[in-house]
Amino acid sequence: MSVSAASPRRLKAQPVGVLLPLALVVLAILVAFTLVPGLIAPHNPIALAMSDRLKPPSLLHPFGTDEGGRDVFSRVVFGARYSLGVAIAIVFVSALFGVLYGALSGMAGGRLDNLMMRIVDLFFGFPALVLALAIAASMGRGLGSVALSLSLIWWPGYARLVRGEVLRLRERPHVEAARALGVSRFVILLRHIIPFVVQEVNVRITTDIGYALVAVTALSFLGLGANSPTPEWGLLIRDSRPYFGSAWWYLVFPGAMIMMTATASSIIGDALASRRPG
Amino acid sequence: MVGFLLRRLVWGLLVLLSVAVITFILSRVVPADPAAFLAGQNASEATVQRIRVEHGLDRPLPAQFVSYMAGLARGDLGESIRTRRSVSADLAQYLPATLELLFVSFVFYLAISFFLAALAARRPGGAVDGVIRLLTMVGTGIPVFWLGMTLQFVFFYKLHWLPLDARFPIRESAPPVVTGFLLVDSLLAGSLTAFFGSLQHLALPAATIVINLLAVGTRLTRAALIREQDRLYVRTARGKGLSPRRILFKHMLRNALSPILTATTMQFGYMISWVILVEVIFDWPGIGLYAYQSFQVFDYSPVIALALVSTAGFVIINLAMDLIYPIIDPRVQSVGA
Amino acid sequence: MIVSVRDLTIGFRGDDRDLVAVDRISFDVEEGETFVIIGESGSGKSLTGMSIAGLQPRIAFVSGSILFKNREALNQPDAELRRIRGAEIGLIYQDPLGSLNPVWPVGNQIAETLTAHGLARPAAAMERAIEMLDRVHIPDPARVAAAYPHEISGGMRQRAMIAMALAASPSLLIADEPTTALDVTIKAQILELLAEVKREMSLTVILITHDMGVVAEIADRILVMYAGRIAEIGSADEIMLHPSHPYTAALMTSAMISETPAKQELNAIVGGIPGLDALPSGCRFHPRCPRAKADCVTAEPRRREFGAVEVACFHPIVAEAVAPARTGRGAS
């Protein structure tokens, strides 16, 4: 049945269209939290104030207080740079290494490519959190160790993605033309392939930041990452464990923050994905 | 076919070997003093020295590696300082709880995921479909540990419907251990109260895992089903006058199963990671909680052992999937790798 | 008449307007005949054929009337149509590999036609499936019944699909481009098979195709469709010998090129079928028609009797003494 290109199937408006502005607002808030927490947070995130412990949300303390009387909202604001900062660092480091690795593998082709990809496959066989636990045990706790172990887990995803793209783009006419002209493989990689790959990678980076954040907070929750009194979001939730049965705000707000950030990164990533050509 | 399986087997062994090497490096090479590492923080100098000798930690690395691998082959995963038992014995005791939790969660996930996806696929772009997509989008951002605690808050602290944690009601006596799976053992012992007690305690931890899996997996299941719906054989089935239910279950499901299972295998990787978090939150006596409690007191052999065991589990699951594929999709046999 | 179609309209709802793919067509199919609907892809022929069994795409809207055995079949509740499909109407399709379920053995799929309608229990249905496979001349039917679709050849798959469609002894077989995807030699075999089972099982066959060679082989009556409308309808002999509609004539000629190498002047039809959103005014064929005049652009030609056939054209071709070389007609 030939229906011409102006095919009239009724498409419902994509939900992303409505959510994207919300996601961008969240993004703006996070940027503010990360860069200028001092301007936003009304209280000191670290100083104890035992007379105010475990107070429910109020105008003075929008997210309530924790067991040390500290304002939860302020702690959340200051925590952004730890939780989100580490997540971003992890994703960028993994992406950097993964992209280089994948690009080289794809361009090399043949047996070297095979071997390099086998190594990548190997990494996919390891369960992430468990390995992170082992690495933290071995190398000591702290956000640095968390960053390292999560980077080790994340980079193969980028390697595979980029190598796939490189292989696909190698077959494109403009690349073949360049080869025929005797352009070196390295220059081909830089000029003809990487620009296209970068778009894909950007989409993945955006969505991965959300996932990395969840992973970082999970490790902190287990006690591998940050230490008290750092207001890292996962740590906040860990600290809330003895109290959250009655002090619900202690659990809800840090978690909601994580969730909102992860969802926003997912939405923005999807929006980027649908915008790229083809 | 056999060649294919052999290759997958070799690959699995390679993965295990790699993780063994990694754990070796993590436990013998990285720490400044491996003996102190294994002995734990509170060990006396004498204990540290004893461990150093026992595990041959003063020998050159290659020799250590050989004896490490030999030990693994024997099933020797070291000793837990906290429990003063061999780690293997500990794992054997705690493994059934973890397996029961994973198994029940996974079965529920498959059923619910398929049901939701079928609803969505019936009207692509419709109301149910939109809700599912929205939930999926939000759901992937939910941290599993936060979800677990939220469920505890709602169902225990607020509603008092379900227990807070642990695997079995404290005041009751657990059924005699036959399989280690409480649900099975209570039925074997003929005790319905035990069965329902176990079920109650299983509910929230399983729900946590199921919800997270749904968030990650329903989109894929839905996509797989929608793709099947457009296939020609579905039109043929309609042309034969088959009822929609029959078409869904007898025709589409089998065909959609292959891509669904591929996605599922990945989710197993997530599940293994989630299980630690869930066990910690719900005080569920599985290998995750065991490793975590050891970690807390700087008793590291269990942690290393967990890495090995869960990787091995993942490898086994992958191999099982490889075996299942040809059964589900007869075309796979001819394709091979 | 086993099938009676009146003012059948099939279309798709667009954002600002509807796109009509089949535009108020009417025709009858007599019991026991081989009725061929021919046209290029995009003519609406498949939609028409499929709609007789209620199998048009879900997003399409349909109006008009389709009487099957004097019962209204259009826009009936699915439960009603399900009883008819498979049991009273059998269907076969163009792509036998895609149209068969890849994960089930062939025999089970044939047997399912019977078990789903409660016509036989599983064991008996399986026996009948093997019987049917034998009937469509598949060697070693028991082995094929246990095989999967991808394990047997294309020709055998199409035969198996025929077996599946006919397992419940329907009265009508709708065949949607059954030979298009097959080799020339297999094509001939399948057509022969269709003629044979039609005879043996007293079937009525509605066959949809774009291939004139198929028409020549087995058609009793022909319906020529163009851009959703009927161009010409009548007995196969008449139409093939004396095509009245310019489009029909062009179809005949382009088919005959391969049969009579002497006719080297390419009478290829210029242009292509118009898209649904760019349908020409008046007679839809006029942009491509060598005989088009002014009135063809402004008014839609109504279907009328013209000699021994019915045609929708203002300037139909008057019969000449043309005796085209044709392949001999198979028993029909």
* Number of neighbouring beta carbons within 10 Å of residue C309: 22
Q: How confident is the model at residue B19 (pLDDT cuts 50, 70, 90)?
A: confident
Question: What chains are in contact with B, requiring at least 3 Cβ pairs below 8 Å?
Answer: A, C
For residue C277, give the chain A residue with the closest CA: A4
Most confident of A264-278, B33-47, C161-175, C239-253: C161-175
Residues of C in contact with B246 (CB under 8 A): 116
Is the CB of B255 less than 8 angstroms away from the CB of C148? no
Residues of A in contact with C16 (CB under 8 A): 8
Mutate which of A129, A146, A222, A241 to disrupt the B interface (most B C-beta within 10 Å)? A129
Q: How confident is the model at residue A198 (pLDDT cuts 50, 70, 90)?
A: confident
DSSP assignment letter at C329: P
A-C C-beta contacts closer than 8 Å: 37
Query: Measured between CB atoms, does A129 come within 8 Å of chain B?
Result: yes
Is the CB of B295 less than 8 angstroms away from the CB of A270? no
Nearest by CB: B232 against C86, C93, C150: C93
A residues 14-73 lying closer than 8 A (beta carbon) to C: none
Query: Distance (Å, rounded) from C-alpha B193 to C-alpha A141?
Result: 44
Model pTM score: 0.77
Reference B275, options B111, B103, B39; nearest CA is B103
pLDDT for C36: 94
Cα angle B301, B307, B308 (rounded to 5 degrees) comes to 90
Give mean pLDDT, residues B179-188.
Answer: 83
Mutate which of B25, B33, B41, B149 to disrupt the A interface (most A C-beta within 10 Å)? B149
Burial class of residue B122 (count of CB atoms within 10 Å of its CB; 0-12, 13-18, 19+):
middle
- CATH number given to A18-38+60-275: 1.10.3720.10
Q: Is 60 exceeded by the pLDDT of residue C263?
A: no
Q: Is 80 exceeded by the pLDDT of residue B55?
A: no
Query: Measured between CB atoms, does A1 come within 8 Å of chain C?
Result: yes
Task: Give the residue carrying structure tokens 């060679």.
Answer: C213
A-B C-beta contacts closer than 8 Å: 146
Task: Give the residue carrying structure tokens 């390292």.
Answer: A148
Quick one: angle between helices A194-221 and A72-108, nearest 10?
Answer: 140
Answer for the pair C139, C132: CB distance below 8 angstroms, yes or no: no
Query: Distance (Å, rounded) from C-alpha B56 to C-alpha B37?
Result: 14
Residues of A in contact with C280 (CB under 8 A): none
Is the CB of B238 less than 8 angstroms away from the CB of C112? no
Query: Measured between CB atoms, does B297 come within 8 Å of chain A?
Result: no
Reference C211, options C94, C306, C297; nearest CA is C94
Give mean pLDDT, residues C117-144.
Answer: 91
Residues of A in contact with C278 (CB under 8 A): 4
Q: Which residues pair with C235 in a beta bridge?
A: C221
Element (H, E) at B37: helix B34-39
All domains of chain B in start order, with CATH? 87-288 (1.10.3720.10)
Nearest by CB: A1 against C14, C17, C46: C46
Is the CB of C86 less than 8 angstroms away from the CB of B240? yes
Contacts for A222 with CB less than 8 Å, ≥ 6 apart: A133, A238, B276, B277, B280, B292, B295
Reference C145, options C121, C112, C172; nearest CA is C112
User: What is the per-residue pLDDT across B226-265, written as a single tens digit (0 to 9) for each?
Assistant: 888 888 898 899 889 888 888 888 888 888 887 777 777 7
Query: Distance (Å, rounded) from C-alpha B295 to C-alpha A223?
Result: 9
Answer for the pair A80, A117: CB distance below 8 angstroms, yes or no: no
Give mean pLDDT, residues B143-164.
Answer: 90
Reference B190, options B178, B205, B200, B206; nearest CA is B178
Nearest chain A Cα distance for residue B181, angstroms: 23
Give the rounded percent of residues in chain C with a pLDDT score beyond 90: 36
Domain segments of chain C as ranges: 3-88+170-321
The alpha carbon of residue B112 and the mean position of all alpha carbons in its chain are separated, in whole angstroms, by 18
Query: Measured between CB atoms, does B150 come within 8 Å of chain A?
Result: yes
Q: Which CATH class is domain C3-88+170-321?
A: alpha beta
Q: How confident is the model at residue B332 (pLDDT cuts 50, 70, 90)?
A: low
Residues of C in contact with B254 (CB under 8 A): 101, 103-104
**Dihedral angle over CA of C298, C304, C305, C307, nearest 10:** 10
Query: Distance (Å, rounded) from C-alpha A54 to C-alpha A6?
Result: 61
Cis amide leading into A229 (omega within 30):
yes
Query: Distance (Å, rounded) from C-alpha B218 to C-alpha B116?
Result: 7
Residues of C in contact with B233 (CB under 8 A): 98-102
Long-range contacts of B226-231 (CB under 8 A, 24+ apart): B226/B120, B226/B121, B226/B124, B227/B256, B227/B259, B228/B252, B228/B255, B228/B256, B229/B121, B231/B255, B231/C98
Q: What is residue C210's three-state secondary structure?
A: coil
For residue B250, give the chain C residue with the closest CA: C104
Query: Distance (Å, rounded) from C-alpha C260 to C-alpha C243?
Result: 18
Query: Side chain identity at B102, as an amino acid letter?
Result: L
User: What is the per-residue pLDDT across C275-290, written as a single tens digit (0 to 9) for each?
Assistant: 777 888 888 888 888 8
ipTM: 0.84
For residue A237, give the chain B residue with the closest CA: B146
Query: Distance (Å, rounded) from C-alpha A83 to C-alpha A37?
Result: 13
Query: Distance (Å, rounded) from C-alpha B39 to C-alpha C289?
Result: 94
Residues of B in contact with C95 (CB under 8 A): 232
* Number of neighbouring beta carbons within 10 Å of residue C15: 9
Nearest by CB: A262 against B31, B140, B292: B140
**Share of chain B residues as helix, strand and coil, in percent rounded to the nearest 5:** 75, 0, 25
User: What is the per-residue pLDDT across C191-216, written as a single tens digit (0 to 9) for each?
Assistant: 899 999 999 988 999 999 988 888 88
Is the CB of C14 less than 8 angstroms away from the CB of A4? no
Long-range contacts of B68-76 (CB under 8 A, 24+ apart): B68/B20, B68/B24, B68/B28, B69/B20, B69/B24, B72/B20, B72/B308
Query: Measured between CB atoms, does A38 come within 8 Å of chain B?
Result: no
Query: Measured between CB atoms, does B204 come within 8 Å of chain A?
Result: no
Nearest chain A Cα distance for residue C41, angstroms: 6
Give mean pLDDT, residues A186-203.
Answer: 78
User: What is the per-residue pLDDT across B76-118, written as a single tens digit (0 to 9) for each?
Assistant: 888 888 888 888 899 999 999 999 999 999 899 888 888 888 8
State the average pLDDT for chain A.
Answer: 82
Reference C277, options C45, C10, C25, C20; nearest CA is C20
User: What is the per-residue pLDDT across B29-41, written as a single tens digit (0 to 9) for each?
Assistant: 887 778 877 777 7
Residues of B in contact with A274 (CB under 8 A): none
For the record, the structure tokens of A53 come out as 């412990």
Cα angle A182, A183, A184 (rounded to 5 degrees) comes to 110
Q: Which residues of C lie closer than 8 Å to B, measured between beta carbons?
A: 53, 55, 78, 81-87, 91, 93, 95, 98-104, 112-113, 116-117, 148, 150, 161, 164-165
Question: What chains are in contact with C, requiring at least 3 Cβ pairs below 8 Å?
Answer: A, B
Query: Measured between CB atoms, does B269 come within 8 Å of chain A?
Result: yes
Nearest by CB: B141 against A126, A218, A259: A259
List, in sequence order, every beta strand (DSSP E) within A124-165: none
Query: Measured between CB atoms, does A12 come within 8 Å of chain C?
Result: no
Answer for the pair B260, B221: CB distance below 8 angstroms, yes or no: yes
Nearest by CB: B239 against C86, C98, C101: C86
Q: Where are the alpha helices (DSSP H) in chain C?
A: 45-52, 78-84, 96-99, 106-116, 122-135, 141-146, 154-166, 184-201, 212-218, 236-241, 246-259, 294-298
pLDDT for B333: 57
Residues of C in contact with B334 (CB under 8 A): 150
Answer for the pair A26, A36: CB distance below 8 angstroms, yes or no: no
Query: Distance (Å, rounded) from C-alpha A211 to C-alpha A105?
Result: 26
Q: Which residue has the higher pLDDT, C193 or B133?
A: C193
B-C C-beta contacts closer than 8 Å: 75
Nearest chain B Cα distance for residue A190, angstroms: 33
Q: Which of A172-176, A240-244, B17-21, B138-142 has the lowest mean pLDDT?
A: A172-176
Query: Distance (Å, rounded) from C-alpha B260 to C-alpha B267?
Result: 11
Q: What are the b/e assignments for C110-146, b being 16+ CB within 10 Å?
A: bbbbbbbbebbeeeebbebbbebbbbbebeebeebbe
Contacts for B109 with CB less than 8 Å, ≥ 6 apart: B209, B210, B213, B214, B217
Nearest by CB: A266 against B15, B140, B144: B140
Is the CB of B254 less than 8 angstroms away from the CB of C104? yes
Give the rounded percent of residues in chain B with a pLDDT score beyond 70: 98
Nearest chain C Cα distance for residue B159, angstroms: 45
Query: Measured between CB atoms, does A262 come within 8 Å of chain B?
Result: yes
Query: Measured between CB atoms, does A221 come within 8 Å of chain B?
Result: yes
Is the CB of A2 less than 8 angstroms away from the CB of C278? no
Answer for the pair C33, C204: CB distance below 8 angstroms, yes or no: yes
Q: How confident is the model at residue A17 (pLDDT cuts 50, 70, 90)?
A: low
Query: Distance (Å, rounded) from C-alpha A178 to C-alpha A192?
Result: 9
Query: Distance (Å, rounded) from C-alpha A251 to C-alpha C210?
Result: 68
Q: Is 50 exceeded by the pLDDT of residue B174?
A: yes
Residue B80 sits at φ, ψ, to 5 deg, of: -95, 125
Give mean pLDDT, residues C103-118.
Answer: 90
Give mean pLDDT, residues A163-171.
Answer: 82
* Number of neighbouring beta carbons within 10 Å of residue B66: 12
Q: How many residues comprise chain A?
A: 278
For residue A1, give the chain C residue with the closest CA: C42
Answer for the pair B58, B52: CB distance below 8 angstroms, yes or no: yes
Answer for the pair C259, C325: CB distance below 8 angstroms, yes or no: yes
Give the rounded percent of residues in chain A with a pLDDT score beyond 70: 92
Give the rounded percent of residues in chain A with a pLDDT score beyond 90: 17
Mutate which of B21, B140, B266 to disrupt the A interface (most A C-beta within 10 Å)? B140
Nearest chain B Cα distance for residue C48, angstroms: 15
Element (H, E) at B136: helix B127-139
β-strands C89-92, C172-176 pairing: parallel
